[in-house]
Structure formats: C-alpha cells, structure tokens
Amino acid sequence: MPFSPFLRAATAATLLLGLAACSPPSLPFARLAGLVTSRQLDEISGLAASHVHEDVLWAINDGDNPARLYAISRRGRLLARYDVAGAKNIDWEDLASFELDGRHYLLVADTGDNAGRRRGFALHVFEEPTTLANGTLRPAWTIRARWPDGPRDCEAVAVDAAGGQVLLVSKKRTPPELFALPLADPRGAVVEARRIGRLSGVPQVGEELQRKDPKLAALFSQVTAADIAPDRRTLAVLTYGSVLFYRRDGGETWANATSRAPETHDVPPIPQAEALAWSAGGGGLYATGEFNPAPLFYLVPQQ
C-alpha cells in the first residue's frame, strides 16, 4: 500500500513511538542484516528466500511499478532483475517460494486493493530461475480468483505446497480473516477463495497513540505479509506494529493454529514494514519495508 510522503515520514517516527504503548516483548534476536539501496527497489512489498541459490532473496515492488522480480543478496545488494511477460503489476503485495514435484517456484500475489473495488485477484506462479542474470520470466500458471462476498484488501499470502493450498489474510478486517485456495493450476477457471478462519491475538495499538494520531493508530494492527516455515509448523505474520508466530501441533489445520494466541513481538525499526520471508533453512526470517534505503532485518523467534 503506497503512502503519501507525509505518511511515510510520519510512519517512520510515530509508529515507533506507538510500539512503546503496546505490550509485546522485544524479539529475542533482531539484527540488521543489510540495506537495500538500489533505487529500483523503493517500494518492496514482498520477500521470499531462494531455494535454488544460496544466500539469495527474491523481492517485488508494490503496484504502480514495473512487473519485475528482483534477486538480492542477504545484505541487500541487487543481483539480477527479471522482467515479467504475461502478467501486470496491478497491485503486487506479497511473494512466496515453494517446491512442488521437485521444481522450485515463486508465487506473486496480485491481491492489493486499497480502495476496496477488486472482486477478483490473481496469483502468478513462476519457475525460479536457475541462473542469476537479467532476463524475462513468464508465469508457469496463474490462479485467477475472487472473494466469496465482496472485495477485500489483502497483502499477506503464504504457500503450503505439501498441503496443496495458498493461504491469504485480509488486511483491514478485525480480526483478520484467513482464506484458502488450491495451489494447483486451475487451467483457466476462476476459483473462489474459501474463508477457513480468523487470526486470534493480533495486538492493538496503545491508547497513547490512539489519542495522538488516530489515523496512524488504525494502521498498527493491519496485516501486511505472511510466510510458512519450511517445516510447515509455523505461520509468521507481519503487521505494521508486530511480528506474530502461529504454531501448529502435529497435523492440525492452519485454521486451528490461528485460532490460538500467537507468540508476539515488536517489529524492529522498519519504516512501513510490508515484507517478510523465512530463510531457506527456516532458522529465522528476513523483513523489510516500502522505503529507500530499506533496512533488511534478520529475526530469530523463540524455539
């Protein structure tokens, strides 16, 4: 979701003040891993760890930017750029990496809807490039979908490839809604997202920020990114104010896991935090936001 210049500056300062008014503890470990300085990446809205290239992350920009995928190092250096043919960047809001039938893929979620007018949306799946060199990519398949009962803004999408589904989390509803879609190629059919639950325990902003700036306070708990750990045991969710970890036991569903209170931590100092991705090994997560230069943090949750 692009902010006005005023809101960008205000977010960097005021939301950080608001963190002090909220009760979650600090992350047990959050360190600055790098800095994204390339002007080509000034509105990062999605991150995903490469499972083909060691120490590489994939990134996308928000809507009103070219349809491109970018490979960056774990320190934030731009490595390669891929123009996308056959798909538009209407409002790209999240990115996920996954393995299916022995192949590695990237899923781009064109799901943003700031104005609440898009009944339909698209998820574009690309086979992950095996070489890092500027080039062009075409979708391996596209999932065209619609919401069951009217438009929603959605910036958080995660893939559970072993479960054959894509999870989507609404942004502006309270509590956030959890939807699911089949991951398989629909072969031209438009599929309907199925609501399977809601996210419990999303922290709300403190009273002090509500009094000082109600507009920014309203943003605090909005969900902006999500990713599933490689071992499929944890769903990580990012809001402007918090990082949430929903654990699931054994073979229980994600709907059950998100019905319990999550492990919750403050977001480190990331202006407009909108991108989150588990590392390829699953030991921690990378997080950044729609800003330039954009700090790239590495987060390690409790075990």
For residue 129, pLDDT over 90 is answered with yes
Mapping DSSP onto H, E and C, the string for 68-93 reads: EEEEEECCCCEEEEEEECCCCCCCEE
Question: What residues does each domain of the chain span?
Answer: 5-298
DSSP letter (8 states) at residue 158: E
For residue range 189-235, what is the model confidence (pLDDT) as tens digits? 999 999 999 999 999 887 887 888 887 788 899 999 999 999 999 99
What number is the average pLDDT over the span 247-259? 95
Q: Select from 263, 261, 181, 274 the least CA-distant residue to 229.
A: 263
% the chain with pLDDT above 70:
90
* Amino acid in the structure at residue 126: F
What number is the average pLDDT over the span 279-295? 95
Which of 5-9, 37-41, 86-90, 186-190 has the least mean pLDDT? 5-9
Q: What is the pTM of this model?
A: 0.90
Exposed/middle/buried for residue 215 (C-beta within 10 Å: 0-12, 13-18, 19+): exposed
Domain at 5-298: CATH architecture: 6 Propeller (2.120)
For residue range 215-226, what is the model confidence (pLDDT) as tens digits? 778 889 999 999
